[in-house]
Amino acid sequence: MLRPAGRHMSALSISFNINGSPVTLDVDPADRLLDTLRYQLALTGTKEGCGEGECGACTVYVDGLPVNSCLIPTYQVRGQRVETVESLDPGALEPFERCGATQCGACTPGVVMTAWWIRGHPELLGTHSIRELMAGNLCRCTGYDGIVDSVAEALGETGSGQGEP
Amino acid sequence: MLAQERDERHEDARGAEAALEPVSFAECGLKRMQRLARAIPEALDGLDLVAVRLDGEHEAGADRLAVEQHGTGAAHAVLTPDVRAGEAQLVTQEVGQEQPGLHCALVAHAVDRADQRRSQGPQRYALAGSAARRQNSSMKRREALAKLTGRERYVDDLPLRDFLWGMTVRSPAPRGRVTAVRFGKDVDWSQFVVVDHRDIAGPNVVALIEQDQPVLAAGYVRHVHEPVVLLAHPSREAVRRAVRAVEVVIAPESPALDFRIAPAPDQVQHGSDNVLKHLRIVKGDVERALAQAPVVVSGTYETGAQEHVYLETQGMIAYVEGDVLVVKGSMQCPYYVLKALQHALARDETRVRVIQTPTGGGFGGKEEFPSHIALHAALLALKSGRPVKLIYDRGEDMAATTKRHPALVRHRTGLARDGRLVAQDIEVVIDGGAYVTLSPVVLSRAIIHAAGPYACEHVRITGRAMFTNAVPFGAFRGFGAPQSQFAGERHMDVIARTLGIDAVELRRINLLTDGQTTATGQAIRDGTDRVAVMERALELSSYRDKQREHAAFNATHTTLRRGSGLATFYHGAGFTGGGEVALKSRLRVAGRADGRVEVLSANIEMGQGTLTVFTELAATRLGLEPEDVTIAEADTARVPNSGPTVASRTTMIVGGLIERAADDLRCRVGLDDTARGEAVKQAIRRWHRDHPGAGEALFGEAAYEKPPGISWDDQTYQGDAYGAFAWATYVAEVEVDLRTCATRVIDFVAVQEVGRVLNPTLAKGQVQGGVVQGVGWALMEECKWRDGAMANNQLTNYLIPTSNDVPSIRVAFLENPYPHGAGGAKGLGELPIDGPAPAILNAVARATGADPRAIPLTPERLMELIDGPADVGAQHAAPRR
Amino acid sequence: MNVMLPGSVPEALDMLASDCAAVPIAGGTDLLVHWPVRVEAHEQTYLDLSRLDPLKPLRWTADELMLGGLTTYWDVIRDARAGEEFPLLVHAARQVGAIQIQARGTWAGNVVNASPAADGVPVLMAYDAVVVLESRRGREEVPLDRFYSGYKEMKRRPDQLVVGIRLPRRRYSYQVFEKVGARRAQAIAKVGLAITRSGAGWRVVAASVAPTIRRCPAVERLLETGTAVASPEALLPAIAQDVAPIDDIRSSAQYRTRVMAWVLYHDLRDFWGKRA
């Protein structure tokens, strides 16, 4: 990837863990984690939908929590663990295939990241509904039932019971 | 016929399809259904019966569909040799109503002996009114895993070397002469590629219906954000800064910004009155009928613009390969883009190539607009000699691209005292914005659907598309029908209230029955029982029970109000009238050397399921497995023009071309229509062995043929507007918080008849997605305008529903196969957005006593209706709480 | 654009003192909105707070809950005791954006962003929060209800960092938080109301109806004095004294006023006309 010329730059050398592997990069203070992932690391699974933290298409995990990578300056993840959709096991995504969680696919990586995180924290369903937990992932195609059903199915697999539809 | 149906091998079941007549609901009649309903419990006592548990593949989605569709509980299939395939559908519906204890979900075709069934293991067969075939559409979305894992690559994901980022400099004013374009002193412009209208080799026009819209403004602008100059640079940040450093100086002129009022003389910019298009439908004598009608009810209704918010913003890549300009990107219509590029760049089809990349949502927003971005990227690439990538960020996309046409609709309706429609006088006005784009066609569809799915002898519908200096409006799912049907269906409830008639009864009296004609004089003879569709929706939504519950709820709650509302509506699939003929769609199914087949079409996947449905249709036709079918990339260098991916035509019409092209392919390898599966593959492989080096030469082809018996007159706007209509009734239940006047949809039922449902999971997903878009349009999606451009162009200020803003959307399909649609299907994609807005507003009216006439019905607007001074135009003032 | 990366709070304070124009950045959920297209943001110098670990946790003492300068919404949502003693914090936190924002956004960041539509500030103010500021010149504490002096103006000097927010632990006999937005999640408040009642009296805090988030003394007085209020309209004079809503891109002054009157009236129906 060609590094653009002509920017005001004070490059920072940042080391972090990406999908289980350590990496060290030169980044610009103005680089968002989303930009670094997509354009420097060629991890294009994470998408940009709005640039303002509304749509969730850019959702990744930083130290295990789902966050909008469009709102994180890359230098802030130094020393931290970053996980993107590329780190998920495709074999585990069968409920999402079956229940119609994806149509056009643009929101999907973000949706899957949030959904997978919910699946890993079933105790949250004691205080939250699936719909509330997914509200940071906008979808324009599915009307959300396919997504919510998929999460419920995935939770069902863990034996933690059903989320509310 | 019975003998074929009893054969359990699914290949034969598929073959049996061709032999069966589609079930006509009209033929059945109540008596027949009752007879069958009695036969089932009698047969249950007989020994020929085997109860089979519907095991096999448990697909949560399909199970739920079965339950919803047939209103049953546990999934047990009851088989009887006496129940023929075609009747089983009706039996389950009727039985469900009359024999609640009898579980009859999906009924397989008949079997003779219990052991036969046991030895083959449980199978599930879905019935689609006419043919028994293997489990209805178990095929999962073909590209689902790629999308779920983030491996599917959209235009901005594609690796690209040594490229430039392109960006657009736009007009700051809605109208005026460009007096200067000033390039700021602090930028080294020699580092940038700069393009303006002088760099356009051919006519400075984006070819569409009219040739009125320039690629780049040449001395005059007609709307804010109109493109004037293009820039490119290797650094995205540099080009962003540079765009701000270009000043477009406009000598302003008086803009026309309100389409509802006649322009001032100095605001006329099109013809003598800023009317882009006039259209008219006339049936009978509406003036006389109105004069004689016992009751006349009038109403005026408004709909706002709607922004698509496809999650993938628009974008293109352009580069030159040898002598060929290649453009790749997010689009619905590769051949529209091709035509636009050829025209403005004066290149013939051998020197331009357009390739659709996986498209992250379209909804019509990527029907015509991509041609602009394609041209912009191409101009920059041609001038610089380097690849150019032009991706709109969200704010730019929302502000500068097309939106749904705002509309104003006036009704004047004459009725008999019992509610029967005797005269409909309807005026539809839409805002086209500053260029013609597709406004004439949007207007056309709007007026054709304006009178609703009702019988009325005297109808006059006039339509006007207005020029204004707003950012041009364009295609959006529904394409005029949501606007006019919002008005029509809200008006039906206004009529009901005025006459003191139940809203359901009013519709029951007037819904088209077989043999009656639409406003354009089209006789509807498809055999669909539209009242049954409505009844199903009322049943699933517990409409009557809810009415009683709501009355009690509203009496006992201080600040909450609940209500339910319905809408009955329809949507014609495919291009209007002679449009499909004019498209001359062609498609190929090629046979590859390894025996597999490839579908070559220009119709694209944007989430609605094209790849999956095309695969299923080809596989079903030839008896192949899905893995044996590939769908070619939509590359104009390889695929014929099968028409645009719009108008709910892709499955119904283009799918039909697949079936015929597959037949043609079979022919070319010397087989007849009974050949299936391995036999077909072997024949293809043999052909290639006999014709070594033939490469792509083996293919079957099909060109669009109009179904028989359809005729349309474009001059008089009379005749068969569409080959098929889909029919629907939606019911919305809402809760309004009187403290904030916020409306929440707490339940939604969507029942429709769309021919045969080829893939329930995909079809249900289309309905749910369309409904939620309709909910947004009705309640929260508001475009706020400044100088004719969207001022709230960010997702924090233009709100679409989140998962927490909508309930589960409950979907049911009644099936009535359409003989001229692929697999019996009718178009489905747009229908679902026609119904939610009026159903919701009718529900709010019921809940609160207010009388909303416009969408979006934001809390602010509802507050004015509930609290504000009584409006002369409103039918009812809200009761004091 | 430049960024400074302090490793400790004293180092951060030194850096702030040396460059008063430096913009402290915590979770970034406000600062990074549309970052690439906001070229003016690229001229600034940022002070990255993300490694100042002592500021992250919330702490309970016998008398108070101390939110750290980097405590996030999610930290509070997950704290069981916060749910019991300061439920409005949890209610408000759950309505900030969605999980992705709650995992990054900080209470202190919400305070210094000084948006009149903020979600965190109203509930903090209704709990009598005190802002704890540190600089090289020493520590300063400012009650939150006196922290804002005008639209986006606050009593924070450029060399000061918010290192904590203190909430006195009290028994509350009534508390409610109402956020009126255009949808149920991911919405900027059109009207926000945080109301508490304790031995210290009534606190009625309003958001999005004035240039700053503020207490509503005239409405509080009605409650304290047990004045009879028979309808939402009867609250309009007090509301007019306390707030000044405007028309903006999200809503109208008329709507905001009316909603505030209706929500206050109905939520507090049990309390009008009853002296404490």
pLDDT at B138: 66
Closest CA to B449 of B856, B102, B45, B834: B834
Q: Is B156 on the interface with A (CB under 8 A)?
A: yes
- The mean of the pLDDT values for chain B is 86
Q: Tell me how far CA of residue B13 lies from CA of A122, B17, B799, in angstroms.
A: 44, 7, 48
Task: Decide if A28 touches C, using CB distance below 8 A.
Answer: yes
Q: Which helix (H) or strand (E) holds B426?
A: strand B421-433
Backbone dihedral region for residue B461 (phi beyond 0: left; psi -120 to 50: alpha; all else: beta): beta
Do A90-154 and A12-84 have the same topology in CATH? no
- State how far residue C169 is from chain B, nearest Cα, in angstroms: 31
Q: Which of residues 165-224 of C touch A (CB under 8 A)?
A: 184-186
Is C178 part of a structural domain of the chain? yes
The domain ranges of chain A are 12-84, 90-154
C182 touches chain B (CB under 8 A): yes
Size of interface A-B (CB pairs under 8 A): 211
Q: For residue B240, is pLDDT > 70?
A: yes
Please check whether residue C248 lies inside any domain of the structure.
yes
> What is the three-class DSSP state of B271?
coil
**Cβ of residue C38 closer than 8 Å to a chain B Cβ:** no
Q: Find, in chain C, the residue whose alpha carbon is nearest to that of A131.
A: C185
Neighbour-count burial of C17, counting CB atoms closer than 10 A to its CB (0-12 exposed, 13-18 middle, 19+ buried) = middle
Query: Is the pLDDT reported for residue C155 higher than 90?
Result: yes
Residues, chain A, total? 165
Task: Express as a percent the part of chain A with pLDDT over 90.
Answer: 87
Q: Domain with C177 in it: what CATH number?
A: 3.30.390.50
Flag if A136 and C37 touch (Cβ within 8 Å).
no
Helix (H, G, I), strand (E, B) or coil at A8: coil
Q: Do B780 and C182 touch (CB under 8 A)?
A: yes
Going B673 to B677 to B680 to B684, the CA torsion angle's sign is: positive
Cβ separation of B241 and C98 shorter than 8 Å?
A: no
Chosen for mutation from B796, B798, B800 (greatest number of chain C CBs closer than 10 Å) is B796
Query: Could you write out the DSSP letters of every residue in A50-114?
Result: -SSSSS-TTEEEETTEEEEGGGSBGGGGTTSEEE-GGGS-GGGGHHHHHTT--SS-SSHHHHHHH
Contact B799 C187 (CB under 8 A): yes
Q: Choose among C39, C250, C258: nearest Cβ to B241.
A: C39
Residue whose tokens read 């509503």 = C216
Instruction: Provide the mean pLDDT of chain C.
Output: 95
- Quote the CA–CA distance of C158 and C177 in Å, as a whole number: 31
C-alpha separations of B345 from B208, B230, B324, B368, C206 in Å: 15, 16, 12, 17, 59
**A11 has a chain C CB within 8 A of its CB:** no
- Any domain includes C139: no
pLDDT class for B16, splitting at 50, 70, 90? very low
Instruction: Please report the pLDDT score of residue B135 as a whole number.
Output: 34
Per-residue pLDDT, averaged over B210-227, amounts to: 97
- Single out the residue of C223, C233, C236, C235 nearest to residue C270, CA to CA: C223
DSSP string, C110-134: HHHHT-TT-SHHHHHHHTT-EEEEE
Read off the pLDDT of each residue in C188-198 and give the average, rounded to a whole number.
Answer: 94
Class of domain A90-154: mainly alpha
Nearest to A75 among C3, C36, C186 (CB): C3
For residue A160, pLDDT beyond 70: no
Interchain pair A56, C184: CB under 8 A? no
A43-47, B110-114, C248-252: range with lowest mean pLDDT:
B110-114
User: What value does the mean pLDDT take over residues A146-164?
Assistant: 76
The CATH code of the domain at A12-84 is 3.10.20.30
Residue C208 forms part of a structural domain: yes
Q: Which helix H or strand E contains B118, and what residues bound it?
A: helix B114-120
Question: Could you tell me if residue C261 is inside a domain?
Answer: yes
Q: How many alpha carbons lie under 13 Å from residue A164 in its C-beta half-sphere?
A: 12
Share of chain B above pLDDT 70, in %: 83
Give yes or no for residue B328 having a pLDDT over 50: yes
Considering only CB atoms, B797 lies closest to which of C34, C98, C250, namely C250
Between residues A6 and B564, which one has the greater pLDDT? B564
Q: Quick check: B765 and A46 CB within 8 A?
A: no
Output the pLDDT for position B64. Answer: 34
Retrieve residue B432's tokens: 């086209």
C52 CA to chain B: closest CA distance, Å?
30
- Rounded to a whole number of angstroms, the distance from the CA of B383 to the nearest CA of chain A is 20
Residue B35 has what pLDDT? 52
| A 134-163 residues with CB < 8 A to C | 134-138
Residues 6+ apart with CB under 8 A from C137: C159
**Strands B789-790 and B295-303, sheet pairing:** unpaired
Tally of structural domains, chain C: 1
**Looking at per-residue confidence, does B253 or B7 come out higher?**
B253
Measured between CA atoms, the residue of chain C closest to residue A66 is C100
DSSP per residue, B519-572: TT--B--S---HHHHHHHHHHHTTHHHHHHHHHHHHHH-SSEEEEEEEEEEEEE
Phi, psi for B87 (deg, rounded to 5): -90, -20
Is A99–B60 a contact, with Cβ atoms under 8 angstroms apart?
A: yes
Instruction: Indicate yes or no: CB of A86 within 8 angstroms of CB of B149.
Output: yes
ipTM for this prediction = 0.96
- For A7, the closest chain C residue by CA position comes to C1
Give the pLDDT band of residue C39 (cuts 50, 70, 90). confident
Whether the per-residue pLDDT at B106 is higher than 80: the answer is no
Best to test chain A binding among C50, C96, C99, C102 (most A CBs inside 10 Å): C99
Res B97 pLDDT > 60:
no
CA atoms within 13 A on the CB side of B505: 10
Q: Is a pLDDT exceeding 80 seen at residue B551?
A: yes
Mean pLDDT value of segment B32-38: 47
B188 CB-near residues (< 8 Å, 6+ apart): none
Subunits with 3+ Cβ pairs within 8 Å of C are: A, B
Average of per-residue pLDDT across C88-99:
96
| pTM listed for this prediction | 0.89
C265/C64 Cα distance (integer angstroms): 31
Largest CA distance in chain B: 94
Tell whether A90 lies on the interface with B, counting CB pairs under 8 A.
Answer: yes
Instruction: For residue B309, give how far its alpha carbon lies from the nearest alpha carbon of chain A (Å).
Output: 7
User: Which of C34, C185, C190 is closest, CB to CB, to B804?
Assistant: C185
Across the interface, of B144, B237, B607, the residue whose CB is closest to A97 is B144
User: What are the two backbone dihedrals, phi and then psi, of residue C222, each rounded to the nearest 5 degrees?
Assistant: -60, -40
* CA-based R_g, chain C, Å: 19
Amino acid present at B744: R
State the pLDDT at residue C142: 98
pLDDT in tens, B573-593: 999 988 999 999 999 999 999
Q: Do A7 and B771 touch (CB under 8 A)?
A: no
Contacts of A59 in chain C (CB under 8 A): 100
> What average pLDDT score do residues B93-114 get?
31
pLDDT of residue B302: 98
pLDDT tens per residue, range B639-697: 999 999 999 999 999 999 999 999 999 999 999 988 999 999 999 999 999 999 888 89
Least confident of B55-69, B512-526, B698-712, B845-859: B55-69
* CA gap B332, B359 in Å, rounded: 8
Cβ-defined contact of C37 to B395 (cutoff 8 Å): yes
The residue among C96, C178, C209, C249 with the most chain B CBs within 10 A of its CB, best to mutate, is: C249
Residue B557 has pLDDT above 50, yes or no: yes
Burial of B200 (0-12, 13-18, 19+ CB in 10 A): buried
Q: Which range of residues forms the domain containing residue C196?
A: 173-267
Indicate the pLDDT class of residue B100, thresholds 50, 70 and 90: very low
pLDDT confidence of residue B13: 29
Residue with token string 């109000």: B561
Inter-chain CB proximity C34 and B858 less than 8 Å: no
Q: In this structure, are residues C132 and C156 in contact, taking their beta carbons and an 8 Å threshold?
A: no
Report the distance separating Cα B738 and Cα B740, nearest Å: 5
C21 and A CB contact within 8 Å:
no
- Taking Cα atoms as reference points, which of A82, A64, A110 lies closest to residue A20? A82
Which residues of chain A make contact with B608, given a CB cutoff of 8 A? 103, 141
Continuous segment of H or E residues that includes residue C186: none
- What does the pLDDT read at residue C276? 60
